[in-house]
A and B are shown apart, each in its own frame.
Chain A
Amino acid sequence: MKQLRRSKINWAPYIFISPFFVLFCVFGIYPILYSITTSFFDWKLIGTSAPKFVGLGNYINVLTIDPFFWKALLNTVVLLIFGSLLQHFIAIPLAILINSHAIKRKEFFKTTFFLPYITSTVSVVIIFGMLFDTNYGLVNWIISLFSDGENIRWMQEASGIKIVLSIILNWKFIGWNMVIYLAGLQAIPYELYEAAMIDGASTFRKHISITLPQLLPIIFFGVALSIIGGMQVFEEPFILTGGYDNLGGAENSGLTAAYYLMFTAFKAYRLGKGSAIAWLLFLVIIILNGINRKVTQKLQG
């Protein structure tokens, strides 16, 4: 009997799912394992010198000598907070607002807020570069209507670059987060609010004591995605501050960890060191997600 069944194995499902596994082994797992090895070598992309084994040398170099790594990591965390995490405080009220039964044309608002998310980063950054232009930008023009001060030099000053980058990230991702929260809100049972209405609780009170706790699992998930995405942010600062040659603009203010990783590998051609940066960054992402999990558990329990 057992023999018979074995001979009747249907291979079709294995064949159907096999393309993913073949491709993932070749283009995913193999390079990832290879990058562990690479990170222990002094490995240059150009030149004839053979890769030299340096042990933890790349990691020690990045963590103790390199002047840019810590700076880049700090920049990334600042952008993570102001560009990716704070926007949840905007996305949740926005979702509550759109979810309100007083609002018609929900689809219109949802679509409008979502549009930036599907726009290519290059387009977005070029537009925002114009809007925040020192002499001719719309933003400084609006400010000039209300005050007589000098034009703000957004792109020439360290803090200006961070503010513009944070605004871009907020603008791009609020709509996405809002849609997620909207779906979460629609899943909250209405009875929960009825009890509060009988008690005469205010709208604000209702959202604090019912909506937020109910949304907590979604908030955890949204924050986790923000951490993963935010710690990898590369395209926005890279394009806004002018690519490899400018390394993040004034005071390297726009230099993020992923930006520095790309610079190290594809401009300085130091593949070993670049791989070491990649693994350090991966470690940071894991730690931050661990913190997120701990905080969520505390809030739940």
Chain B
Amino acid sequence: MIRTVRIKTVSMYVVLGLMALVFAYPFYNVFVLATWPSQQVLRFPPHFFFGGGLAENMSQLLARIPFGLNFYNSLGIALLSTISVVFFCTMAGFGFAKYQFRFKRQLYFFVIASMAIPGFLNIIPFYKMMVRFGWINTWLPLIVPGMAGAFGIFLMTQFLENSLPDDILDAARIDGLSDFGIFIRIVFPLARPALAVLGIVTFVGSWNNFTGPLILLPKIEATTLPVALTVLNSRVDNNLGALMLGNALTLLPLMIMFILFSRQIISGLTAGAVKG
């Protein structure tokens, strides 16, 4: 009896371990290939260990795309998006969670329902609008429209409803703080755990965004890392070593963030599904 239980447990671990390998290996593979010089990236059998071409790949990468600028664009857009989303969504979440006002239920429903609209429905007129605004090849179209996103409002409303005690707000009001003062001085600091979740999730989403910059940032100097990588990928004189290194450098910040904050990222990204 004990033996069959043990066999069962071991086989469960074997299945999970094999699957974990399948899920993790491609990441390892990127970093391995990033260290092999271009002519040696492709080999049969494939590389399993690191090579010595890192420096050469780096100089090739910098010669082919304005990697520094692309990195700067990716980082700048992601950081500014994160800051504005955290600010505006917490503010709206505070409004929905802690006030009673007319049409509140309907307005909140509208926010939630807006999440179900597929992105491609408005993409063509949106593009035309950005052309008219003169926002093409600027950071603005990738930051401004999503500054007060519905998902963030949902997340913050949920959190503030459940974890912000009314007594604290009443006390602050008696002390003479204005509504906005309460938001800045009381709500914001107390909402820090949820802010972290929303901020990280927003950063990841912005960092990975591809379709947006593909349409809105056509200039190679103005675009972000994912689009720059596809440019590198489609060049006639494709340098595989440079491509793999660029890919590794795009992945690295995210993987570090994920290792540090996996709990927050997973709970944030699945919040809507798990609670809804």
Q: Contact size class for A? A: 35 or more
Query: Which residues of A21-36 are within 8 A (CB) of B?
Result: 21, 23-24, 26-28, 30-32, 34-35
Question: Among A121-129, A156-164, A192-200, A291-299, which stretch is in contact with chain B?
Answer: A121-129
Contact with A along B143-154 (1 / 0, CB 8 A): 011111110010
Residue in B closest to A19 when the chains form the complex, CB atoms: B148
6 contacts between A and B (CB under 8 A): A16-B179, A97-B12, A126-B30, A136-B46, A232-B119, A281-B120
- Are the CB atoms of A35 and B95 closer together than 8 Å? no
Contact with B along A84-128 (1 / 0, CB 8 A): 000000000010011010110001111111111111111110111
The binding surface of chain A is classed by DSSP as helix
6 more A-B residue pairs beyond the given contacts A20-B92, A112-B24, A123-B251, with a C-beta to C-beta distance below 8 A: A16-B94, A16-B179, A27-B126, A171-B26, A266-B127, A281-B118
- Are the CB atoms of A16 and B19 closer together than 8 Å? no
Which residues does chain B contribute within 8 Å of A138, judged by CB atoms? Answer: 29, 46
Cα distance A116–B266 in the bound complex, in angstroms: 12
- Are the CB atoms of A120 and B251 closer together than 8 Å? yes
Contact of B44 among A10, A108, A135, A261 (CB under 8 A): A135
Residue in B closest to A264 when the chains form the complex, CB atoms: B124
B138 to chain A, nearest CB (A): 15
Q: Contact size class for B? A: 35 or more
Query: Which residues of B1-28 are within 8 A (CB) of A?
Result: 5, 8-9, 12-13, 15-16, 19-20, 22-24, 26-27
Which residues does chain B contribute within 8 Å of A62, judged by CB atoms? Answer: none
Given A35-B125, A138-B46, A23 and B210 contact (CB-CB distance below 8 Å): no
The binding surface of chain B is classed by DSSP as helix
- Are the CB atoms of B210 and A127 closer together than 8 Å? no
Among A98, A119, A131, A218, the most chain B Cβ lie within 10 Å of the Cβ of A119
Cα distance A115–B179 in the bound complex, in angstroms: 40
Which residues does chain A contribute within 8 Å of B211, judged by CB atoms? Answer: 234-235, 262
- Are the CB atoms of B88 and A113 closer together than 8 Å? no
Cα distance A12–B230 in the bound complex, in angstroms: 46
- Are the CB atoms of B273 and A221 closer together than 8 Å? yes
- Are the CB atoms of B148 and A20 closer together than 8 Å? yes
Cα distance A262–B265 in the bound complex, in angstroms: 30
Given A115-B27, A120-B251, A133-B42, A98 and B16 contact (CB-CB distance below 8 Å): yes
A243 to chain B, nearest CB (A): 6
Which residues does chain A contribute within 8 Å of B42, judged by CB atoms? Answer: 133, 135-136
Query: Which residues of B210-245 are within 8 A (CB) of A?
Result: 210-211, 215, 225-227, 229-230, 233-234, 243-244
Cα distance A261–B118 in the bound complex, in angstroms: 13
Given A136-B44, A228-B118, A275-B124, A120 and B26 contact (CB-CB distance below 8 Å): no
Contact of A102 among B9, B118, B127, B226 (CB under 8 A): B9
